[in-house]
Chain A
Amino acid sequence: MSILVIAEHDNKTLNSATLNVVAAAQKIGGDITVLVAGSGAQAVADQAAQVAGVSKVLLADNAAYANQLAENVAALVAQVGKGYSHILATSTTTGKNVLPRAAALLDVSMISDIIAVESANTFKRPIYAGNAIATVQSDEAIIAGTVRGTAFDPVAAEGGAAAVEAVSEAKDAGISKFVSEEIVKSERPELTAARIVVSGGRGVGSGENYHKVLDPLADKLGAAQGASRAAVDAGFVPNDMQVGQTGKIVAPDLYIAVGISGAIQHLAGMKDSKVIVAINKDEEAPINAVADYWLVGDLNTVVPELTTKI
């Protein structure tokens, strides 16, 4: 078995989600190679070489891969991936954008959002917004899949000593061009990797109130901040903070849902959290059914009180 893991990165730092994918690859078993496609990404390749369990790092360093355009990266992945039994990527927007394209170029089906490895060709994945778990067996020659990071404990970022090899393959497909990006800056831990997440919903009332009420709590707990789709659609916070089926999937030790009713869409993104706390003025809110502890009250008084008492 030989497994190719597509590294997620920003040309400077290896994204920790890659460590969860390597963990899934170890469950499959076999030689693990990490492919770093980027521009000026030597530092990322060096970090990937340190990752425990990685036996080889391939670095494709070319301007064509600078912004992870799917048209260029997928062609590279399909080219490099031919000799492997498995190709795995993160279940992030980058992985979801690139890997299906690479799979189709290889004429193989793909498995999205793997949450458990049963055997080298059998995996579990959630369907219907996490309301059912399917066990899927692939008869493809190359098994391609994205891995839901929160379902696998990350491997150590240090301790490995893989060799870095350059890949000369580099082609710009010439059908797409990066124009610009707007990245939301935050001092807080990354949402999908945080140990504690504080999330607000429609109940927080406004963007101003979201920050007034939730920022001090998140600061005190060193928590990442999330939001329900309702809060994002109402414009309280940017959409990359959305937790749910169509946003990010989180599974922190502690998830505090404030003013969130708990639509199926939202639950699909957080119900694997270890401990869930719901603070809501509605006794009948669906979120209470998945919460370990729920407190009925006005979030504008309860949350500040909680902040002072922890």
Chain B
Amino acid sequence: MKALVAVKRVVDANVKVRVKPDNSGVDLTNVKMSINPFCEIAVEEAVRLKEKGAVSEIIVVSIGPKEAQEQIRSAMALGADRGILVEADDSQLGALEVAKILKGVVAAEQPQLILLGKQAIDDDSNQVGQMLGALLGAGQGTFASEVKVDGDKVQVTREVDGGLQTVELSLPAIITTDLRLNEPRYAALPNIMKARKKPLDMKSPADFGVSTATKLKTVKVEPPADRKAGVQVKSVDELVEKLKNEAKVI
């Protein structure tokens, strides 16, 4: 069966972002960009399922600027077979619009498993997988830490607040990955070279009949309130004294 993996180009997880002085957004000029870490885990899981024989072909899709081709190539270097870039100004698209475009891609490719990260580390929304599930009428295994394909079903162990929950979904199904699902591999140089030759289709949102911009408007973006600088205490006695008399929290 085919697996579709959605990946997002985002600011690298190790970058400390700065808010623009005009409060219009976060300054991303000359900032290192990468595959969203949760998406990378989704790619790795698809590749492992292919290695186990449960998946025959992995298609990786990204919705974003031209430069997102780099992230698609990285996913292909990890083992995805071909790529689709839906070129769009992703700052104009909300999770719902992204889900609608993905629905179009799913209709065209007919994958049985659709893997996404549980959230993108830039907008921290945690919505696209669930929305895609709704639009497709498919089951969703969100925050997955274990995935087992069994015939026309998939068992997903989910990380929930009290511990773990296992659900069984009929295929096609959506899976969104949590950090503990797997440890993504590094791309070997020969695989990076091979990935350059793998097919990559260019599409636009209009190809899938999606044109509407999000109805959520970002009015402004501000830095969070600073915490005032703390003090170093030299001993446990001093710490206890401060907590009791200055902070009054114990």
Contact = CB atoms under 8 A, between A and B. Distances in A.
**A and B assemble together:** yes
Nearest to A130: B224
Interface stretch (A40-48, A49-57, A175-183, A208-216): A175-183
Nearest to A176: B139
Contact of B218 (A136, A140, A248, A253): A136
Given A110-B127, A309-B236, A309-B237, A70 B142 contact: yes
Contacts of A132: 17, 19, 26, 221-224
A104 B134 contact: yes
B161 A94 contact: yes
Nearest to A141: B215
Contacts of A306: 236, 239-240
Contact of B130 (A104, A135, A295): A104
A276 B239 CA distance: 12
B231 to A, nearest CB: 6
A191 to B, nearest CB: 9
A264 B142 CA distance: 24
B168 A239 contact: no
Contacts of B118: 246
B219 A112 contact: no
Interface stretch (B48-56, B91-99, B194-202): B91-99
B133 A179 contact: no
B142 A122 contact: no
A176 B156 CA distance: 10
B160 to A, nearest CB: 4
A79 interface: no
Contacts of B131: 100-101, 103-104, 110
A56 B218 CA distance: 33
Interface stretch (B68-76, B82-90, B106-114, B242-250): B242-250
Contacts, number: 257
Interface residues of A, number: 88
B211 interface: no
Contacts of A109: 94-96, 214-216
B159 A239 contact: yes
Nearest to A195: B249
Contact of B167 (A69, A99, A133): A69
B178 interface: yes
A175 B155 contact: no
The SS class assigned to the B binding surface is mixed
Interface stretch (A28-36, A80-88, A163-171, A285-293): A285-293
A184 B139 CA distance: 26
A294 B139 contact: no
B24 to A, nearest CB: 11
Range, interface on chain B: 35 or more
Nearest to A177: B168
B169 A221 contact: no
A100 B179 contact: no
Overall SS of chain A's interface: mixed
Given A101-B134, A129-B121, A179-B168, A136 B217 contact: yes
Contacts of A133: 221-224
Q: Indicate the member of A104, A131, A133, A265 with the most B CB atoms within 10 Å.
A: A104
B180 A233 contact: yes
B249 A92 contact: no
Interface string A148-182: 00000000000000000000000001111111111
Interface in B132-147: 132-135, 137-140, 142-143, 145
Contacts of A18: none
Contact of B216 (A136, A180, A233): A136
A259 B218 CA distance: 38
Interface of B: 11, 13, 16-17, 19, 26, 94-96, 99, 118-119, 121-135, 137-140, 142-143, 145, 155, 158-170, 173, 178-180, 214-224, 227, 229-237, 239-240, 242-244, 247, 249-250
11 contacts: A71-B133, A93-B143, A104-B99, A108-B215, A112-B127, A131-B16, A136-B217, A175-B138, A175-B139, A295-B234, A306-B239
Given A240-B159, A240-B160, A271-B227, 11 more contacts: A100-B128, A101-B131, A101-B133, A127-B123, A133-B223, A135-B219, A139-B217, A182-B165, A271-B224, A294-B233, A302-B236
Interface of A: 67, 69-71, 74, 92-94, 96-105, 107-113, 122, 126-140, 173-184, 192, 196, 221, 229, 232-233, 238-240, 245-246, 248, 253-254, 264-265, 271, 274-277, 288-296, 302, 305-306, 309-310
Which 5 A-B residue pairings sit nearest by Cβ, starting from the closest?
A104-B134, A100-B130, A104-B131, A100-B127, A176-B139
